[in-house]
Structure 1
Amino acid sequence: MVTIIAGTNRPNSNTLKVAKYYQNKLAEKGLQTNLLDLQDLPNNFIAEDLYGKKSEKFENIQGMVTNTSKFLFVIPEYNGSYPGVLKTFIDACAFPESFYDKKACLVGIASGKYGNIRGIEHFNGVCAYLHLHVMPLRIHISYIKNELNENGQLYLEDTVKFTAQQIDKFLAY
């Protein structure tokens, strides 16, 4: 099973739009995926789903994560790194069965010019600790507001080209 994780809980996020773009492109190539939007985390998961205890809603999410063999993370830049909700989600997931010796692909997005390079590197450190094997080709999409059309689709030629290359490599990974 492949799961795409939209790495923020911000409503109407560009992160979710990019995650859906990847999901659609993978489907066009014959791969059906799950999409985990961190908006779907339980409202009180910090109080109820950390440190061994789990709510029923989080148990369903945990089941999907446990059964996933490859992840594709779309991660926005928050304060020069990645969102705290993504780290808290990772912390709430069972260790080692959630991520250990599984595969991941990373996509960084930002409203600025660096496409969350620093945040992707920070997250890569967490992946290394978890023994989550990250595909070498990472995409950093800068100025995300200019990259998406009115339908929430990436449309600029270079970005479409590089995301297509990443998708092909992810399928083979």
Structure 2
Amino acid sequence: MMTYRIAVVVGSLRRESFNRQLALALPRLAPQGMEFVPVRIDDLPLYNQDDDARQAEPVRRLKSEISGAQGVLFVTPEYNRSIPGVLKNAIDHASRPYGQSAWAGKPAAVIGVSVGAIGTAIAQQHLRNVLAYLDMPTLGQPEMFIQNKPGLFAADGSIGADDTKKFLQKFVERFAEFVRQHADAAAAR
């Protein structure tokens, strides 16, 4: 059985980030053959087009990790009704220089958790607009706007709420199928 590597990009640098907790819990729900690999973005310099010809080592590492993955999972908080700057910075770095985007053609999914009732709905919509421009086919359904309520995460870091666990299980399984379809289609070309 082939193993599909999923690059997991978390749009929060906070140590106790709810989104980081979610990113760590989701692989436990993944079907066999899916490997979730966290991608580091906290050491990237601010994007500057002047540096395109000589990208810093952390940028080259990011591009290599994205290029080596069969899919990308974005786990994002919502800052001021949009995506965090650190996430946009990572996206910009890996998309440059023009014509050398590591993102192009990579199947993606978007998820996020927040204390707010609408989860990260607006940030996710903004991110989907960016991903469309980057030529990343993005899983449309199910949409995942998770509200962090007491009991969402169990003491061991897994998803604690059974109804949410079932909901997230369907999401992860659907994303796995989406990645397989795109990877198989790319291999057939």
Q: What is the aligned partner in structure 1 of residue 135 from structure 2? A: 131
Q: Quick one: distance in 2 between partners of 1:75 and 1:103?
A: 17
Moved over 6 A (4+): 47-50
Contact 1:71 1:105 in 2 (8 A): yes
Shift of 1:145: 5.7
Shift of 1:50: 7.0
Shift of 1:29: 2.6
Q: Quick one: distance in 2 between partners of 1:38 and 1:103?
A: 19
Secondary structure in structure 2 of the residue aligned to 1:76 = coil
Q: Please give the per-residue CA displacement for 1:103-151, whole angstroms capped at 9, x wherever unaligned.
A: 0011121111111111100100001111111111221101356522233
Aligned sequence identity (%): 22
Q: Please give the per-residue CA displacement for 1:145-166, whole angstroms capped at 9, x wherever unaligned.
A: 6522233322112211111001
Q: Quick one: distance in 1 between partners of 2:173 and 2:25?
A: 14
Secondary structure in structure 2 of the residue aligned to 1:168 = helix
Q: 1:7 aligns with which of 5, 8, 11?
A: 11
Quick check: 1:143 aligned with 2:144? Answer: no
Q: 1:31 to 1:46 in 2, by over 3 A?
A: same
Q: TM-score normalized by structure 1?
A: 0.87
Shift of 1:79: 1.6
Q: 1:38 aligns with which of 24, 38, 41?
A: 41
Contact 1:49 1:55 in 2 (8 A): no
Q: What is the aligned partner in structure 2 of residue 55 from structure 1? A: 56
Count of residues paired in the alignment: 169
Most deviating of 73-82 and 159-168: 73-82
Q: TM-score normalized by structure 2?
A: 0.80
Q: What is the aligned partner in structure 2 of residue 153 from structure 1? A: 158
Q: Quick one: distance in 1 between partners of 2:153 and 2:38?
A: 19
Q: Please give the per-residue CA displacement for 1:5-53, whole angstroms capped at 9, x wherever unaligned.
A: 1121222211111111112322x633222111433x34xx116787403
Secondary structure in structure 1 of the residue aligned to 2:76 = strand
Secondary structure in structure 1 of the residue aligned to 2:109 = strand
Q: Quick one: distance in 2 between partners of 1:153 and 1:23?
A: 9
Matches within 5 A, 1:50-89: 51-52=51-52, 53-89=54-90
Q: Quick one: distance in 1 between partners of 2:12 and 2:50?
A: 18
Q: 1:55 to 1:125 in 2, by over 3 A?
A: same
Q: 2:103 aligns with which of 88, 94, 99?
A: 99
Q: Please give the per-residue CA displacement for 1:73-99, whole angstroms capped at 9, x wherever unaligned.
A: 111111222211100110111344311
Q: What is the aligned partner in structure 2 of residue 110 from structure 1? A: 114
Structure ID, larger Rg:
2
